[in-house]
Amino acid sequence: MPSPAYRVHALIEGTVQGVGFRPYVYRLASALRLGGWVRNDGGGVRVEVEGAAADVQAFLDRIVRESPALADVASVTADAVPARGERRFTIAASDAAGAAPAIAADAATCAACLGELFDPHDRRHRYPFITCTACGPRFTIARAVPYDRARTTMAAFAMCAACRAEYDDPADRRFHAETNACPACGPRVALVGADGGAIAVPDALSGDARALRDGAIVAVKGLGGFHLACRADDAGVIARLRARKRRAAKPFALMVPDVAAARTLVRLDRAAAAALESGARPIVLAPRRPDAPVAAAVAPRQADLGVLLPYTPLHHLLLAELRQPIVLTSGNVTDEPIAHENADALARLGGIADLFLVHDRGIAVRTDDSVVRMATVAGTRRALPIRRARGWTPLPVALPVATPAPILAVGGELKSTCAVARGGRAWLTQHLGDLGDATAYRAFREALDHFQRLFDVVPAAVAHDLHPGYRSTRFAATLGDLVRVAVQHHHAHVASCLADNGIDRRVLGVAWDGTGHGPDGTVWGGEFLLADLGAYTRVGRFEAVPLPGGDAAVREPWRMAAAFLGAAYGAEATSLGIDAVRRIDPAAWRVVAQAAAHGLNAPRTSSAGRLFDAVACLVGLRDRVGFEAQGAMELEALAAPEADRVYAVAVDAGVVRTTDVVRGVVEDLLAAVAPATIAARFHATLAGVIVRVAERVRTETGIAEVALSGGVFQNVRLLEAATAGLAARGFGVLVHRRVPPNDGGLALGQAAVAARRLADGGAG
Ligand code: ZN
Ligand code: ZN
Ligand code: FE
């Protein structure tokens, strides 16, 4: 006798559309011989299944566990409903009503598609746009929601009969794959010259590979924009690329054919290999092998190399033919946003690239590559996010406190990202760049509009930085009808780290970066904040020193060296017998000293980033930098593996006497201690300072949890020493997981603070 039929109705929410969820449900239900149906609706995917109770239970047990790679199930709610004797399982028509669904992130080519790509008998053999429901572009081609072909840049391509049959077959891997295409009906690549004229070659990809091998610079259209590519082992072509791109020293990333090739360049542990091979395919910064077969100019004076694996069929085909690492860097001049439209790329990159590998699939949203850096935190190797973009955007981040009203968070000024939040989730935009650039500012405005539409957010409040001069703050001020929530920069950093760890309780936040507006009118950046999401108290900070010339001090670290020397030694500073002093000409000294003494064009700063700059200059690394934090990065790379001691530093009432650190460095220089040793002692000193302040705060408050945030914590040497020191003394340590510690994470922190304050009934 058959057991009585049992039926449930389930709602599955999260990123479950455009990721092959319905065919997956169809196959699972069919395998368990269940009847019923599945359909998309606005809020997610609805399913009814009917059959033996044990089989229905097995279905519910497996539905999340075995879900498609791109799916991100937020919740499953299931209720028993009356059985109907249904034996067949069907895919029902979608219900367009309801809340806007989530949209998936772009994903690297899956194993099944790769197999077909290199199979001479497959109809998509060597087709550079092969995709399925488990892989391919999503966010970068979506113009609007709901996610279907008509609202993507694939709308221009009508499917041929063979593709349409796959699209319509529930049992097929390409059932409702909105990106489905083939050589007969889909996008095509072409090779064009810098003048825009087509170059006649039998196979654009092979032609491109040949040009690269011969030393050309080629602009390659990828998922989120154009890259510039060239050989990685040819110092001549790299010098040409640097000159044309006007990028003197900033490191270039390298694309390698596979993990084995990555191992010849960098030290790859299991965690780094996992990050490299993850569906997001970020650039992974890992320690460079001394014998890495790449030109030194790829990443001058850096301890790490950035490597990434092919993530589109086009990249796979190119690298399979080249079988060697290539430089793959964003297609732009200096700090402009990456070019993403064919005409724009030709106009802007025509003076840089010799050739262009283009295609006719549009890019709806300009999106850079994501970047992570490997670090050991509390004994575990993990990938620290540095830039969050392609592969992760627009996946949501859960907020530790649900917001009672939808929020817009506009972020900072540099490394800008913004966010929208509704209920318990926040969606961060891709990395947008520096808002001082007009194209980046336009991208910022577009991203805000786009995300409000994608995630159905009609904001009631806008969270922004305290800095009145940030373009994001000025934009927030124009949103007259919204409740405004002003969030102090370093509080936003700490809140970002809390939200990233799903926490809403009081911790000691260590927020170290280059610059942030302090409510006392000074420039903050070496901060210890006792903070939760709602509020903070400044319980410690770096000693304030003059910032001679304001922003000029960021580009010219010699100014900071002079400011610190002046603060530490007064008038004696100019007669110290160290090289850095001799390199600064006397007139410049006088200007800096006067600025410092009279506060003329010299605001005071407690910035940790500026202390790194000063020390980098003192040990002889550089007096001027080509990009922010260059001195700090080189100081980290220079540091000897072990520190034999730390410098004696006074901490009075929470104020860290950074001039003591500078005195320690100067004494070492006078004693002819090696710069590598000084750099090691410097990092160990700062890690020790964090532990000392944390111990004092724990004694006074009982709080034994420390959150590390701010751009300075991209410094792995400092991060590892600080987390190890804190853990050894019994502290809980919070570091970033999904959003960067730098200003790219600010918007999440702002959204979390606003959510907390709105939930508490005040905007603050
Ligand atoms: Zn696939
Ligand atoms: Zn086709
Ligand atoms: Fe910051």
Write out pLDDT tens, residues 695-713: 999 999 999 999 999 999 9
Helix axes 53-65, 21-31, angle to 10 degrees: 150
180 alpha carbon, closest ligand: 2
Q: What is the pLDDT of residue 97?
A: 46
Q: Kindly state the tokens that stand for 116.
A: 């077909």
Closest CA to 7 of 56, 59, 62: 56
Is the pLDDT score of 395 beyond 70? yes
What value does the mean pLDDT take over residues 588-599?
82
Q: Which ligand is nearest to the CA of 159?
A: 2
pLDDT tens digit sequence for 596-636 = 778 888 899 999 999 999 999 999 999 999 888 999 999 99
C-alpha gyration radius of the chain? 27
CA 164 – ligand 2 centroid, Å: 7
100 Cα: distance to centroid of ligand 1 (angstroms): 25
The owner of tokens 């001799």 is 582
For residue 710, give the ligand nearest its CA. Answer: 3
pLDDT at 521 over 80: yes
In Å, what is the CA distance from 115 to each residue of 110, 111, 132, 176, 178? 9, 6, 12, 21, 20
Give residue 2's pLDDT. 54
pLDDT higher than 70, residue 268: yes
Q: Let me know: does 483 contact 500? Beta carbons within 8 Å.
A: no
Q: pTM score, two decimals? A: 0.93
Q: Which residues surround ligand 3, an ion (CB under 5 A)?
A: 513, 516, 743
- 150-197 pLDDT per residue, tens: 999 999 999 999 999 999 988 888 988 999 999 999 999 999 998 889
Tokens of 514: 């280059």
Q: In the predicted model, what is the mean pLDDT of residues 390-400?
A: 95
Pick from 382, 400, 375: nearest CA to 748 = 400
Sheet hosting strand 6-15, strand order edge to edge: 72-81, 6-15, 44-51, 35-41, 89-91
User: 356 forms bridges with which residues in the sheet?
Assistant: 192, 219
The rounded Å distance from CA 181 to ligand 2 centre is: 5
Closest-approaching ligand to the CA atom of 490: 3
The pLDDT, as a whole number, for residue 611 is: 98
Q: In this model, does residue 504 exceed pLDDT 70?
A: yes
| pLDDT for 627 | 87
**Would you say residue 41 has pLDDT above 80?**
no
> What backbone phi and psi angles, to 5 degrees, belong to 276?
-60, -45
228: CA distance to ligand 2 center in Å?
Answer: 30
What ligand has the least distance to the C-alpha of 741? 3
CA distance 271 to 392: 18
Residues near 310 by beta carbon (within 8 Å), at least 6 away in sequence: 108, 109, 255, 257, 281, 316, 318, 319
Q: How far is the CA of 138 from the centre of ligand 3 (A)?
A: 30
Give Dmax (Cα) for the chain. 100
Q: How confident is the model at residue 42 (pLDDT cuts 50, 70, 90)?
A: low
pLDDT score for 184:
98
- Please give the residue that has the higher pLDDT: either 325 or 332: 325
Gap from CA of 538 to ligand 3 centroid (Å): 16
Q: Strands, E, within 655-764: which ranges?
A: 655-656, 705-709, 732-734
**Near ion ligand 2, which residues have CB within 5 Å?**
160, 163, 182, 184-185
Instruction: Give the model confidence (pLDDT) of 196-232 as tens digits.
Output: 899 988 899 999 999 999 999 999 999 999 999 999 9
Phi, psi of 662 (to 5 degrees): -65, -40
CA 495/CA 747 separation, integer angstroms? 10
For residue 413, the ligand closest to its alpha carbon is: 3
Between the CA of 182 and the centroid of ligand 1 the distance, in Å, is 13
Closest ligand to the CA of 135: 1
d(C-alpha 184, C-alpha 716), whole Å: 49
Prior bond to 146 cis, omega within 30? Answer: yes
Proximal ligand: closest to the CA of 488: 3
For residue 130, the ligand closest to its alpha carbon is 1
